[in-house]
Amino acid sequence: MGLLSDPNRRRALTSLVTRLNTPLCVLCYLVGVSWFMGLAFEPFMLRTYMSENAMGSTMVEEKFVFGERAISYTREFAGQKKKTGGMPVDWLVKTMKSRGLEVYTQSFSQTLPFPDEVKERYMVRGTNVYGILRAPRGPRTESIVLSAPCSEGNNNNQAVGLLLALASYFRSQIYWAKDIIFLVNEHDLIGMEAWLEAYHDVNMTGLTSSPIQGRAGAIQAALSLELSSDVITSMDVALEGLNGQLPNLDLVNLFYAFCQKTGVLCTIQGKLQRTDWDTLPGYTHSLSTMLLMVLKQGSGHPQGDHGLFLRYHIEAVTMRGINSFRQYKFDMTTVGKLIEGMFRKLNNLLERFHQSYFFYLMPSLTRFVSIGYYMPAFGFLALILVLRALDLWVQLSDPARALEDGVSEGEQDSSPSLLSLATPVIICHLTGLALYFLPVLSQEMAIQHFPVSETEAVVLTAIAIYVAGLALPHNTHRVLSGAGTERGWRSLKLFSLLYLAVLLGCTTLINFSLGFILAVTMIPVAAFIQPHRSSKVLHGVALILVSPATTLLLSIYLYHELIEYPVSLLECWQHFLTAVSQGILDHHLYGSLLYPLIALFIYPCWLQFWNIVFWK
């Protein structure tokens, strides 16, 4: 405190920080990126461990032997689905009732804001079927969910068959202290959202659905199952939920523990574990796994049906069976024992998951990086914005410093008015509002005047508005008093830097991966751009290369490289267009925050820096 209260010491500290501002900013960026890259190195990772006492031991003996029955159910379900041309509701109700469950159905409908060309749907109508196994040894105030989506074609038939076989087996056991809900949902995430909203008696997405007729207790945990073959070579676990939410780490540890017990190979991000952590191949493997998690979490898109449970504070994961060309295979009985073991441990829960981590990154299933380890990486990047803002504030408040930087006294005496600074900020945010509202609202007009489909109209309108923002009258300050000076753009940049720092800070607290991706790309360019005539083109190109759209395009390319499925530039562009349409649909259907965040805040903030580059 003495250092800041003493004018001489404060002046010396300010002079030091401003004189070394550029080297300090470069150092912070290198340290932040290096810190993040080092998180995949073993000394920076922690071993996973079980925090919940009720989850500690896997000594229970799994006795599930209905593997052949699961395959029989699969064949019946596939035949009935083909016969009815969709989800065989009547057959499912009859089969669940014959197994002693309380069976209910829920119909729902949803009209999409524009057609989903990926899944070829617009007006969605479907029915969810669920059966409740009441707890024979408990007050029936809590429940666990096992779900399996009814997918198109022959996908996921085995998951429904195994779910019915598990329901038949669980019905014969008497140790259940929680209700168990067996749910078969239609139309994947839309059906799951309809069921969750009806179960919790809320309507957040405008879905039309029939009310839930039968309820169990408060849902403590949920497992979503995806199987499309009678045998598997490994079981992959999907963690990333809506808006980057993650399940409690204890649930992931429980999955890994029972995979180890049953001998099933388990993967995360589709990658097996390595034990050579101290070698370069082991480090690159961990880094690629962690980067895949960052990219998926940053997208904000649920990576399975479990992703919608997390919004209701229900810990959930999706288990996805993989059948590759590996020699060792695991049958339905082994997979059933894996799920039985997990359910028996979840049955022991005395309270909701809360003791372990909710914020983490996973380079493997046996190692994790906690929030205390990865947040400093973002902190060093955010410090760049603070340092640059401090430098600008000193230049604006210290006339002597401004004169040293080559600013004339006439320019120094002219202070920008509030109106001159507010005008470009308002214009940028109005452009963001147009980017958020107009693509969907103007699709009918677009298809009338251009030979495009509704989906193409929405995507192309969004791109057109995005590009048009670059040509807005950003030089309105020239006709406003006191804005055409050095103090004008410095004041605007000071505000923009602080605004970007707040935006990225809030984003990182909600979704670290998204905030870090934006910070790595935007911060270095935003910190150093200036409206100098000699470097205007260079700064403009640099800004375009770190714009939100370019960041998305590069992220798609990097993702396909990490999954070892490289794409050409044209294919990457097609994936980019699909990602834009899916991002808008995710916002309207499930409440994803990525599209409004980019359109209403990140893009306008980026436009402010574009304004600064072309300041006259």
190-221 as b/e: b if 16+ CB within 10 A: bbbbbbbbbbbeeeeeebebeebeebbbebbb
Helix or strand (DSSP H, E) at 139:
none
Q: Which of 47-51, 124-128, 471-475, 566-570 has the lowest mean pLDDT?
A: 471-475
Q: Which of 102-111, 173-182, 410-419, 476-485 has the lowest mean pLDDT?
A: 476-485
List, for residues 345-391, the tens digit of each pLDDT value: 999 888 889 889 999 999 999 999 999 999 999 999 999 999 999 99
Average pLDDT of the residues in 463-485: 69
List, for residues 269-289, the tens digit of each pLDDT value: 999 888 887 788 899 999 999
300 contact partners, CB below 8 Å, separation of at least 6: 242, 243, 244, 511, 514, 583, 586, 592, 593, 594
403's tokens: 């004169």
How far is Cα 613 from Cα 616, in angstroms, rounded to an integer? 9
User: What pLDDT is recorded for position 483?
Assistant: 47
How far is Cα 76 from Cα 71, in angstroms, rounded to an integer? 9
pLDDT band at 177 (very low <50, low <70, confident <90, very high): very high
Average pLDDT of the residues in 391-410: 65
Average pLDDT of the residues in 470-484: 57
User: What pLDDT is recorded for position 473?
Assistant: 57
pTM above 0.85, yes or no: yes
182 contact partners, CB below 8 Å, separation of at least 6: 96, 101, 130, 131, 132, 133, 146, 147, 163, 164, 166, 167
User: What pLDDT is recorded for position 451?
Assistant: 87
Q: Sketch out the chain's domains with CATH numbers.
A: 53-354 (3.40.630.10), 417-614 (no CATH)
User: What pLDDT is recorded for position 104?
Assistant: 97
- Does residue 1 carry a pLDDT above 80? no
User: What pLDDT is recorded for position 481?
Assistant: 46
> Across the chain, how many H-helices and E-strands are there?
24, 12
User: What pLDDT is recorded for position 38?
Assistant: 94
pLDDT band at 574 (very low <50, low <70, confident <90, very high): very high
